[in-house]
Amino acid sequence: IVTNTPDVLTEEVADTALGLLLMTIRELPQSERWLRAGHWVSKGPYPLTANTMRGKTIGILALGRIGKAIATRCEAFGLTIAYHGRTKQDDVSYRYFESLVEMAREVDILMSVAPGGASTKHIINAEVLKALGPQGVLINIGRGSVVDEAALAKALHEKIIFAAGLDVFENEPHVPADLMACENAVLLPHVGSASIHTRNLMGQLVVDNLLAFLSGKHPLTPVAETPFTHW
């Protein structure tokens, strides 16, 4: 029996996603480095940022629990929401795209919350990045394997897209040197759910699943793929 820890990390990861988006689109890490290097004194104010959250459309790849929590936060920022996934969801009013490339072409921000695995490996590739365009922003808070990192580094270096914010990478903790060299990339060390509060909740859910199982009860949060006998 395999169980997981859904729901208890949703809000923390969604908060991180919005923080990463703000950091990336408004160049906040770069402006902090400007201050720390003494440039505010020697060179003057940090240059006006070329991008903004105002009037933007965000396309969410994988509108699950976390994707919907991110969408709720994005609505509060005045963003228009669209999404792509395996199927259209009847319980949301957001625009659905059957094609990821087509969604990338129509949105300003691509937010990936997609899980890893063979079916999603490198689905954000050179074609998708080109469709996102020179003012486009990519945020990945899901799994690193979803993004073709070589194609992304090329797109950032050549200004095929505007910027990217990543909390996850394909071969963690190793981050490609080409991505590290991109000034228009904000890179975080997989901290999406990494607060003591949330990790305690995740740990407690693991314990609760074990206790339920050992007492002969139904596991609380079995993954959909795992078989089990309810006795």
Q: Which of 2, 18, 16 is nearest to 198 (CA)?
A: 16
Is position 158 annotated as part of the catalytic site?
Answer: no
Count of CB atoms within 10 A of residue 57's CB? 15
* Residues making up the chain, counted from first to last: 231
Exactly one of 65, 73, 95, 190 is catalytic; name it.
190
Tokens for 187?
């890179």
The answer to whether 24 and 164 are in contact (CB under 8 A) is yes
CA atoms of 212 and 180, how far apart (whole Å): 45
Single-letter amino acid, residue 62: A
The answer to whether 9 and 201 are in contact (CB under 8 A) is yes
Single-letter amino acid, residue 129: L
Is position 170 annotated as part of the catalytic site?
Answer: no
Exactly one of 32, 98, 172, 183 is catalytic; name it.
172
Exactly one of 12, 143, 149, 170 is catalytic; name it.
143
Is position 190 annotated as part of the catalytic site?
Answer: yes
Provide the edge-to-edge strand list for the sheet that holds 57-61: 95-97, 80-84, 57-61, 109-112, 137-140, 163-166, 185-187
Show which residues are catalytic: 143, 172, 190
